[in-house]
Amino acid sequence: MAKIIMHKSKNPKHFLHLNRAIIEDTKLSWKAKGLFVYLASRNGSWDVNLSDLLRKSSDKLGSLRSGLKELIKSGYVYRAVKRSRGSYIEGWKYYIFETPISKEKASEIIREDGYKIHGKMS
């Protein structure tokens, strides 16, 4: 066994306050946990773009998609779509929750923004 000694930066801009639930969740891979931490570190005005995420990591598209699917399946992340005039897609959002949340509860929150949970990861 070895102890971990962490030397922290004194700059508060470099810190992220995060609920430990995802880190302690043994059902998730390290890949999914790391992806979640990265997504959680972005602010609300940041647009999720898979090609941008790929540029910021050594992972390939398949790995990135499987990490997102894992987070979605576990209830930490929901992908939502906003449609107008029937099938026209107005926008996409990823909703990230610090602790797993049911699809029903997520739907209530997401619906308030005019979005609807999208079941498929494309």
Q: pLDDT tens digits, residue range 29-38?
A: 999 999 999 9
Please count the residues of the chain: 122
Question: Phi, psi (5° rounding) for residue 65?
Answer: -60, -40
Decide if 36 is inside a domain. Answer: yes
Identify whether 87 is part of a domain.
yes
Residue 17 located in a structural domain? no
State the pTM of this model.
Answer: 0.84
Does residue 1 fall inside a structural domain? no
Question: Which two three-digit tokens encode residue 14?
Answer: 């470099």
**Backbone region of residue 75 per phi and psi (left: phi > 0; alpha: psi in -120 to 50; beta: other values):** left
- In whole angstroms, what is the distance from residue 44 CA to residue 56 CA? 19
Pairing of strands 77-84, 88-96: antiparallel
* Full residue range of the structural domain in which residue 112 is found: 23-117
Which tens digits make up the pLDDT trace of 44-68? 777 778 888 999 889 999 999 999 9
pLDDT surpasses 60 at 24 = yes
